[in-house]
Structure 1
Amino acid sequence: MRPMPLYQRFTPATLAMAAATAMALAAGHVPLAHAQSSRAGAAVTPIAINIPAQPLGQALNELARQANLQMTFPAALVAGKQAPAVAGQLTALQALDRLLADHGLAAAMDGTSVIVRKLPAGAVAPNVLPTVRVVATTERPGDLPKAYAGGQVATGARMGVLGNQNVMDIPFSVTSYTAELMENRQARTVADVLTSDPSVRNTVTTGHQYENFKVRGFTISRGDFAIDGLFGMSGNSNSTIEMFERVELLKGPSMLFTGMAPSGGVGAVINMVPKRAGDEALNRVTVDAQSASQLGTNVDIGRRFGEDNAFGLRINGRFADGETTLQGQDERREFVSAALDYRNKALKASLDVYNSKEAVTGGVGAMYWFATTNTVPAAPDPSINQFPSAQGVLDSQAAIARVEYDFNPNLSAFAAAGTAKSKNSGYTGGSIVNSINAAGTSTSSLTYGTLGYQNNKTAEVGLRGHLATGSVQHEVVLQASTLANETGSASATNRIASTNIYNPTYVAMPAVPTFAPKTAESQWTGVTLADTLSAWNDQLRLTLAMRHQRIQTTSFSTAGAVTADYDKNSWAPAVGVVLKPWGEGLSLYANYVEALSQGESVTRIAGYAQDYTFEPYKTKQHELGVKWNLGRFAHTAALYQLAQPQLLATGTAPNLIASLNGEKRVRGLEWSTFGEVANNVRLLGGVAYTQGVQTKTQGGLTDGKDAVGVPRWQGNLGAEWDTPWVPGLTLTAQVTATSSQYLNATNTLSIPSWALLDLGVRYAMRVAGKKVVAKLGVSNASDKHYYSGSFRDTRPIANLGQGRVVSASVTADF
């Protein structure tokens, strides 16, 4: 008998009715929407326009994007010209007049196109515009960097203790994905956002309740995600990204950005930046559906109040429920967040709170552990449910407060504090089918159920100053931070049975424990001092940083007795340099960073000669790169090396001797690109070539062998095309490819290469003067069955890729 679900089955009549109503509304107003969203109509219909001050060519491209226009102008006509900031309810022609007024240029309609031309000598631009209110906007120190051409990524990122930085000034490989990309992609998790990066691959089966990644050949776990630069605040389930304006991927170790990652991740930092209320009121509702019968609703509301719109409120919510593509599995998600902020000339403060709940019944994603002496069998259909009786619930809540104060233009202070609680019950981890032979038969079906909790508290304080020593400018930052963590857990007894991955045997799940004792207390504290020196009109930038990190961990038995006590500290330096020999369009950069990970402990109980705790591991990264900004289209190329110590054991029990003489080394070459390659055509993606090698192994037995789970080639390339024959209609496609990779250290087991095609279409229109966007997407269009990657470096366990998924949504602004 199937167990009673943790939630009563939800009948999504309300969501279905809302979806049907929205779609009927859109369908019923297609002629009106087409008339209002045509390029000619957009030129004379007032819309909300917000264009920061920037080079004139970029400003015109941004206006074309916001107003959905096809715009033509010779590059030489706008070269070297600067456009003012323009914002407000304006027609496109009114905005054009403001942008072109001081440059002897004018705009005219030609059918469905806007042509920018030079005025004849002595001519004056016709003054045909009514009086309008134009609000000039300036970027505040804490404001997010604006979007780059195409709107998919930003021109900069929040670099932890260094604050907001322009991407051309950052001596690292950085990509900041925007809310626009998330919305257009119908992204539901961080994993959906990072599918554009060639160096990132998921390390859990798609559809799992946890998110882990491998970046540059090293694992980044869910505990290493940061919210606005603070670790420990992101909960314990899939990231519900509705509350975030940006998802930033900062490749390389995290010490310079946010301190030591709690779980020891070194390949990258994933930072999520919360949304803030904009100056324009926002009322947005999205209804969506995903195969098999997942229905959901998102709500996004934003308001600003008070004098100069000093106070802001942004509320985001999501509710989704229904069957997933895993046969028999139901998933229910509930999420709500609120963001309060205050801003004036000197003070900026914010408070972010959220509550998230995710529950699954009728199954859980599986991992596949292969027998070491057999060939890996063909990947099963991902819709096959290996554990149909599994169920689990994940709950997370957090509150994060931040304040920044400018004493004067050259000195500011910042502080932040946060608290987060999460708990899990049931089979929320990845159940594993193990000892799988070439025929897909497994000698046992291994699952586990747990009851657990995690409580985190974090805080940081710091000073940021600007000063000059002769002709050299300095940006100096002093920051101190702490993160306290308490965890507790209890596990159920495993159930074992023979099975086959193509025709699994039903396994009844054991009861979940009723009490979770405290298992560990940990605290990470550190101090960072960083100085960014700039000279030669900012053509040379040198960043020097040093962090002192202390790590304290105490482990407990189920009876409360101390079983291990770890207290270590270490120093970690970072150096980065940026050179712009030919101006702002080209940056050459290099960096050296050391990352810290908590050292392992060995015990006599485990067969070692003595109890011993190692110093924190130091992973060292060297990187050289170039960034090329063509105004509307940009490239980044990076050559890097990451080397991490590995624990080795010599001798035999009970006289094992442990040492940190092992090493895993990853070398790679990455190319990434983003922006508008042509009018109405956007590209995003890249290619990564990686060599992961076991350089120092036990007895040298596998020296020179490929590192586990590090494919040589990975590529992602996505394209968007705004069609010329139907204004507002955009076609999208993305190709993702990964070469074969080994699952074990001896390189005798491997999974084959794979490639996927995703397709999509969206249609933006105006209904009664309001924006409505309908989207349809198909991921893994060929329904390929494949192993997507390696789950662990120490065991031959693979993840299963997601099958074909169809997603549809309608978003309306009211």
Structure 2
Amino acid sequence: MLDQNDCRTLARPLATRQLAAALLASGMITLALAPQARAEAGQISQAGRNFNIAAGPLDQVLNTYAKETGILLVIDGRLTEGRQSRGLNGTYELRPGLDAILAGSGLQAVVQDNGSYKLQKALQLPRATGDATTTLPEVAVSASAERQGELSPEYPGMQVARGGRAGLLGQRDFMDLPFNATNYTSDMIENQQARSIGDLLQSDPSVRQASARTNINEDFSIRGFTVSSQDLAFNGMYGLMPFYRVPVEMAERVEVLKGPSALLNGMPPSGNVGGSINVVPKRAADQPLTRFTASYMSDSIYGGHADLGRRFGENNEFGIRLNGAYRKGDMRIDRQDVEETVGSLALDYRGERLRLSADIMYQQENLGVVVRQFSVGNTLTKMPSAPDNKLNYPGYGYSKMKDSTVVLRGEYDINDQATVYAGFGTRKSRMDALAGNPTLDSADGTFSSAAALQLYDVSSRSAEIGGRFQFSTGAVKHQVSAGVTRVTQNADIHFVGVGLFETNNLYSPVYGDTPDTSGFRGKTLKYTTMELTSYALADTLSFMDDRLQLTLGARHQNVEQQNYVIGTGQKSGEGYDKSAVTPVAGIVFKPVENVALYANYIEGLSQGQVAQPPATNAGQMFSPYKTKQKEAGVKVDWGRVATTLSLFEIERPSAITTGNEYRVSGEQRNRGIELNVFGELNSRVRILGGGAYSQGKLVKTEGGNFNGNTAIGVPDWQVSLGSEWDPVFAQGLTLTARVIHTSKQYVNEANTLSIPSVTRFDIGARYKTTLNDTPVTLRANVENLFDRDFWNTSNEGYIYLGTPRTVLLSATVDF
């Protein structure tokens, strides 16, 4: 008979073979498409051809034009910085098309001796030249340092940006950052037809959703640790994004930095340590934007999204960007329906030195017959196989969520070497929900649940002030950053059971009516109060013409928290007021221009966990704890493709629900290796994703009972690899494919319960055309193509069903 260690030994090669098969399938698809794409690359038609390039930042439009024509275009980012283009629509020869894009920009393209084009200020009329050019299917971009608040250029392929906001350190190119970060663009959001952050981040191999897509809230797992939906940042500030689920209609960029980031961003409200997710809001561009998208999602959800942008003033100083979206209909889950309303208004002023902005956001989401995730019962000895993914559990309930946010921000350049900034925001969140919180009791699919009413009000305030300064001491350059942050958050709750425990079955559920709550409603009472205050200072020292960069810094963080007894609003214990200093050390060395070796040591500080209902010790508050990360890696910018290879170790005290009690026990140590890749193999094939291998181990557990066991919800292998192909036989058409693989995961500390590995396939297509001089983009995506039934789990041990096959259709029109 095989013991548990034997089973693990056999499971490893099986997991490896499954991963290899997934990678091989994706690789075969890419290789099959690549020859035809390579044959197309470099073929420049000198006759007129049709272009459909959307309006946008000038450098992005030029990059797209160069990619489609195959010319070599050298761009100095200082010339295009802040400039916009109307795009290019219609039939043009090579040179007239380039001149049309540059019209009104004050710039011109000059032909070099080698046939390439170089951008310069339009000091004279462009020379009349022939269109003979050298066929070089690449774009060389020389990017200048960006002012805080301005967008980093997009990397070839347009799915991710070259850089993003690194919290306290400001805007950094990915090659200059001693961390693993990916910055997703609005193009990626739109083409994936993402409805929330969770939809978008499935493209990252180190990120997984940690809750059901149709659950009340949307959490994530990064490097094997939970990142709560309330811990997403807005322009680097915590406590301002919608509390339960973050929409993407207002997002220009979504920036993901892996690992604890207390020094960079301050302490998040729920203390996540796996990584940070920052949402960069849309701003009005120089060119007017009037865009409407009509959408459909199976089973029968119809919606629309309007995106309007205008700038005013002599130099376009004043901008307004308005986004509004509405969706309603039946979901693929039995009996479940949804109604969503999203609105955002962004106002900004950009002067020569002063920049101001105001953002107003509103979201409302109503779910009928809300789906809940399962807890593992004490009597469960074997995980039941996944049932039909369209069934609803527990089969009754609802949730009504409403969020409103206001954020004000200002930046001022004292001179070219010094910038100061300040920001302030408030958010109010309201939830009215009745849900069942089911528990799996038996391998035959028996589960139990009891309906409970929860009214939950959360109010937050967030503020920051700081500055960034550049100077030199001899041959050493300094970029010094200093900042102060404060987040206060108060939560009130009314939580009461409205029904007895009922049993049901996964495979043949009996749907009941949602209980009447009219006699159970009451006033919300104090639940938690929290204040997070921090002071940070960091310096990036640059040597050897920026080939060697050393970042040193520390943040002093203070945590004040008080909990209250549910139902009475009386204090639960004395609370605490504690502080700690968390350091960071990071290094980047570039032996050659396109290779960066990096390493970091960084700590995180989290306020103590709070046991949540339905745990028997709900409301119990634990002490704050530190998390430590060590990481090293190499980044290579191959020109049109970039790769990041990372090795990391994260150590964190662990918290888990055992039986019905939530407690802190031992330490979790996650070690892993990640490979991220993005860019374009050639002008017609793009790739995004990668793979990660992790070992999440429990150490120093209570009594040593679980020492050496695998941590809950940490698979050995994770792969997310997507590709896009523009076939030569259909101008404007793009075909997409993606594979998402997750290996076996344990759902309890004892490692006696587990869920099997799963591989999911997604496909899609989009078509860009022009109808009556109006740009139109049609998109179609299918998620979970083969409609696999599978379990997922969170790092907290909750179990939920994967999303069923879902069809998404949309049509976008730029008026």
TM score, norm. by length of structure 1? 0.84
What's the offset of the Cα at 1:577? 0.6
What's the offset of the Cα at 1:94? 3.2
What's the offset of the Cα at 1:553? 0.9
Pick from 143, 151, 159: which aligns with 1:152? 159
Equivalent runs, 1:408-423 vs 2, <5 Å: 408-423=415-430
Other structure's SS at 1:257 match = helix
The answer to whether 1:591 aligns with 2:600 is yes
What's the offset of the Cα at 1:52? 5.6
The answer to whether 1:567 aligns with 2:564 is no
Other structure's SS at 1:187 match = coil
The answer to whether 1:464 aligns with 2:468 is yes
Amino acid at match of 2:129: P
The answer to whether 1:682 aligns with 2:690 is no
The answer to whether 1:636 aligns with 2:606 is no
Conservation of the 8 A alpha-carbon contact between 1:406 and 1:413: yes
Deviations 1:634-677 (A, max 9, x none): 0000000000124799xxxxxx9x99882110000000100001
The answer to whether 1:623 aligns with 2:631 is yes
Other structure's SS at 2:367 match = strand
**Residues in 1 aligned to 2:45 and 2:647: alpha-carbon distance in whole angstroms:** 44
Amino acid at match of 1:94: P
Long gaps (5+) in structure 2: 1-43, 100-106, 118-126, 133-141
The answer to whether 1:374 aligns with 2:381 is yes
Alignment partner, residue 525 of structure 2 = 517
Amino acid at match of 1:62: T
Equivalent runs, 1:20-419 vs 2, <5 Å: 43=49, 61-65=63-67, 69-71=68-70, 85=80, 88-89=85-86, 93-94=95-96, 96=98, 101-106=110-115, 126=129, 140-367=147-374, 369-371=376-378, 373-419=380-426
Conservation of the 8 A alpha-carbon contact between 2:563 and 2:621: no
The 3 A distance-change label for structure 1 pair 419 and 505 is same
Amino acid at match of 2:172: Q
Conservation of the 8 A alpha-carbon contact between 2:57 and 2:285: no
Conservation of the 8 A alpha-carbon contact between 2:52 and 2:770: no
The 3 A distance-change label for structure 1 pair 776 and 696 is same
The 3 A distance-change label for structure 1 pair 363 and 217 is closer
Deviations 1:451-497 (A, max 9, x none): 11000011011121111111111111110010111101111215311
**Residues in 1 aligned to 2:58 and 2:554: alpha-carbon distance in whole angstroms:** 35
Equivalent runs, 1:401-800 vs 2, <5 Å: 401-427=408-434, 431-442=436-447, 444-493=448-497, 494-510=499-515, 511=517, 513-557=521-565, 558-564=567-573, 565-583=575-593, 585-599=594-608, 616-646=624-654, 662-788=666-792, 790-793=793-796, 795=797, 797-800=798-801
Conservation of the 8 A alpha-carbon contact between 1:696 and 1:703: yes
Long gaps (5+) in structure 1: 1-37, 109-123, 130-135, 650-655
**Residues in 2 aligned to 1:107 and 1:406: alpha-carbon distance in whole angstroms:** 36
Please, which moves more after superposition, 549-558 or 171-180?
A: 549-558
**Residues in 2 aligned to 1:725 and 1:59: alpha-carbon distance in whole angstroms:** 23
Other structure's SS at 2:650 match = strand
**Residues in 1 aligned to 2:297 and 2:664: alpha-carbon distance in whole angstroms:** 48
The 3 A distance-change label for structure 1 pair 531 and 243 is same
Conservation of the 8 A alpha-carbon contact between 1:52 and 1:84: no
The 3 A distance-change label for structure 1 pair 296 and 171 is same
Deviations 1:203-231 (A, max 9, x none): 11122231101110110011211110111
Amino acid at match of 1:501: L
**Residues in 1 aligned to 2:656 and 2:785: alpha-carbon distance in whole angstroms:** 44
What's the offset of the Cα at 1:792? 4.6
Please, which moves more after superposition, 97-106 or 517-526?
A: 97-106
**Residues in 2 aligned to 1:261 and 1:763: alpha-carbon distance in whole angstroms:** 41
Amino acid at match of 2:805: R
What's the offset of the Cα at 1:386? 2.1
Other structure's SS at 2:187 match = helix
Other structure's SS at 1:191 match = helix
Deviations 1:714-767 (A, max 9, x none): 001000001101100000000000100111111111000000110101100011
Other structure's SS at 1:184 match = helix
Please, which moves more after superposition, 697-706 or 432-441?
A: 432-441
**Residues in 2 aligned to 1:448 and 1:559: alpha-carbon distance in whole angstroms:** 17
Conservation of the 8 A alpha-carbon contact between 1:675 and 1:683: yes
What's the offset of the Cα at 1:43? 4.6
The 3 A distance-change label for structure 1 pair 228 and 507 is same
Other structure's SS at 2:326 match = strand
Conservation of the 8 A alpha-carbon contact between 1:648 and 1:662: no
The 3 A distance-change label for structure 1 pair 489 and 41 is farther
**Residues in 1 aligned to 2:553 and 2:577: alpha-carbon distance in whole angstroms:** 24
**Residues in 1 aligned to 2:386 and 2:315: alpha-carbon distance in whole angstroms:** 59
What's the offset of the Cα at 1:680? 0.8
Conservation of the 8 A alpha-carbon contact between 1:289 and 1:807: yes
**Residues in 1 aligned to 2:610 and 2:196: alpha-carbon distance in whole angstroms:** 34
Deviations 1:501-520 (A, max 9, x none): 11113344442523211212
The 3 A distance-change label for structure 1 pair 701 and 362 is closer
Deviations 1:580-599 (A, max 9, x none): 1112x111100000100113
Amino acid at match of 2:209: N
What's the offset of the Cα at 1:702? 1.2
What's the offset of the Cα at 1:128? 8.9
The 3 A distance-change label for structure 1 pair 318 and 592 is same
What's the offset of the Cα at 1:145? 0.3
Conservation of the 8 A alpha-carbon contact between 2:56 and 2:285: no
Deviations 1:748-805 (A, max 9, x none): 11000000110101100011222100011110000000002x2353x4x312100100
Identity %: 38
Amino acid at match of 2:603: E
What's the offset of the Cα at 1:615? 5.1
Aligned alpha-carbon RMSD (Å): 3.0
Amino acid at match of 2:595: L
Other structure's SS at 1:101 match = strand
Alignment partner, residue 813 of structure 2 = 812
Alignment partner, residue 653 of structure 1 = none
Conservation of the 8 A alpha-carbon contact between 2:372 and 2:438: no
**Residues in 1 aligned to 2:382 and 2:620: alpha-carbon distance in whole angstroms:** 38
The 3 A distance-change label for structure 1 pair 192 and 536 is same
Conservation of the 8 A alpha-carbon contact between 1:367 and 1:433: yes
Number of residue equivalences: 726
What's the offset of the Cα at 1:198? 0.6
**Residues in 2 aligned to 1:279 and 1:79: alpha-carbon distance in whole angstroms:** 23
Conservation of the 8 A alpha-carbon contact between 1:337 and 1:352: yes
**Residues in 2 aligned to 1:378 and 1:261: alpha-carbon distance in whole angstroms:** 36
**Residues in 1 aligned to 2:78 and 2:530: alpha-carbon distance in whole angstroms:** 52
The 3 A distance-change label for structure 1 pair 81 and 506 is closer
Conservation of the 8 A alpha-carbon contact between 2:221 and 2:794: no
Conservation of the 8 A alpha-carbon contact between 2:214 and 2:370: no
Other structure's SS at 1:183 match = helix
**Residues in 2 aligned to 1:355 and 1:51: alpha-carbon distance in whole angstroms:** 27
**Residues in 2 aligned to 1:811 and 1:46: alpha-carbon distance in whole angstroms:** 13
The 3 A distance-change label for structure 1 pair 468 and 424 is same
What's the offset of the Cα at 1:70? 4.7
